[in-house]
Amino acid sequence: MFAGGYFLMSELFHKLGVNWKLLFAQGVNFLIVFTVLRFTVYKPLISLLGARKEKIRKGIQDAEQARKIMLESETVKAEKIASAQKEGLQIIRAMEARSKEVGEQLIAEARKKEADILKSAEIRGREELEKEKNMFYKEAGEMVKMAIARTVEISPDRIDEKLIDQAVAGLSKKRITH
């Protein structure tokens, strides 16, 4: 059966137009081209793909590291902002306390100046009052003097209420004109 199968196969290939010698030569050519391509193209291509795969892996690893660093920097940034806010609040509180102290000092100084001004005004008021008293006594003395002089001119039996009123009116007129 084997010999008969070979013959059938040979005849089949012959009818199909297959030439064994040509098929064998093409097979050898294919192996030569395959071997050449394997060493000249396939291996460099595989090594190039391996290198590219390594670069991609390293890029992913670097990106992951960068993401971690970014997260850490965000954490540090948030901590620094929180710290700056705390410091800012402390500075504001210190400035509020200082401004309160300064305000109290200014109020104390204003009260002291107020007391000094009131004391000065009181002294001036006393001086003015003393001056007015002196003027009053001087004018009163002159009026009494004038009244006495007027009464000396008039006889005592003629002095009555009407004359006293006239003398006082005359003294008042003199006082107004002075």
The region, left, alpha or beta by phi > 0 then psi within -120 to 50, assigned to residue 17 is left
pLDDT at 13 > cutoff 80: no
Rounded to whole angstroms, the Cα distance separating 24 from 12 reads 17
151, 159 contact by CB (below 8 A): yes
Rounded to whole angstroms, the Cα distance separating 167 from 178 reads 17
Which are the contacts of 159, defined by CB distance < 8 A and separation ≥ 6? 151
What is the tens place of the pLDDT at every residue in 63-118?
Answer: 999 999 999 999 999 999 999 999 999 999 999 999 999 999 999 999 999 999 99
What is the tens place of the pLDDT at every residue in 17-52?
Answer: 877 788 899 999 999 999 998 889 888 889 999 999
Helical ranges in 17-158 per DSSP H = 20-37, 43-153
pLDDT, residue 76, reads 92
Is 177 or 15 the better-scoring residue by pLDDT? 15
pLDDT at 1 > cutoff 50: no
Global confidence as pTM:
0.38
